[in-house]
Structure 1
Amino acid sequence: MRDLVLQCAGVAGIAVALIHGVLGETKVFAKATIQPESLRTLIRLVWQAGTVAWIGGGVLLIAAPSFGSESARHWIVVTIVAVYAFAAAANAWWSRGRGFGWKALGAVVVLAMAGY
């Protein structure tokens, strides 16, 4: 059962990452006026680096049960929980507790810890 919960955390993590990436492109950068253009490009790439990292974390959470190593599972879960928890805390601080992002990120953290 804990394998399934961990894999659900991975799927949720990937979903959150994809939402983050799409909203960044359609809501944030579609309306932002950042000059010079090279700075705008850099900020977009850094934004999407988070998206890619969260997708990678989700993939690792999905794959962790198949590694057959408790040590690998431990370090994958601990690392991904730290990454998502930091993102959840930063999002909660930025949004002053309003919004969906930190709650979705927090749900991934809770699922990953439950599947640990």
Structure 2
Amino acid sequence: MRDMLLLAAGLVAITVALIHGVLGETVVFARATISPERLRTLLRLVWQAGTVAWIGCGVLLIAAPWMGSEPARHWTVITVIVVFAFAACANALATRARHFGWVMLAGVVVLAAAGY
């Protein structure tokens, strides 16, 4: 059961990351007027770095049940919980909890903690 919860947490993490990346490109940066162009490019790349990092966290959660080491599983899950908990809190604070993103991010935290 623990392994299934980590698998679910990983899949949700990857889904959240993909939504973050797509909405960033199609909504946020499509409307934003940022100049100079170099700054716009930098902000887009930093935004997508978060997307890639969250996908990596999701992959690690999916792989955690097959890690041969209990300490590796422990630190992988704890690290991902901290990363997504911080992101959920930051999103809720910045949007005054009006954005669905913090709920999705918190869902990853709950699933990963349950599968810990």
Return structure 1 stretches of 4+ with deviation > 6 angstroms.
none
Provide the rounded CA distance (Å) in 2 between the counterparts of 1:108 and 1:67.
20
Alignment match, 1:72: 72
Distance 2:93 2:36 in 1: 28
In structure 2, the residue corresponding to 1:43 is in which secondary structure? helix
Task: Give matches, 1:1-116, under 5 Å.
Answer: 1-116=1-116
Distance, in Å, in 2 between the alignment partners of 1:99 and 1:53 is 21
Q: How many residues align?
A: 116
1: CA distance between counterparts of 2:47 and 2:16? 14
Deviation (angstroms), 1:99: 1.4
Q: TM-score, normalised by structure 2?
A: 0.99
Question: TM-score w.r.t. structure 1 length?
Answer: 0.99
Instruction: Write the distance in 2 (CA, Å) between the matches of 1:47 and 1:99.
Output: 17
3-state SS, counterpart of residue 30 of structure 1: helix
Q: Which segments of 5 or more consecutive residues in structure 1 lack a partner in the other structure?
A: none
What displacement does 1:70 show? 1.0
Gaps of 5+ in 2: none
What is the root-mean-square deviation of aligned Cα atoms in Å? 0.5
Name the CA distance, whole Å, in 2 between partners of 1:115 and 1:59: 15
Equivalent AA in structure 1 for residue 70 of structure 2 = E
Q: Partner letter of residue 14 of structure 2? A: I
Cα distance in 2 for partners of 1:109, 1:52 equals: 18
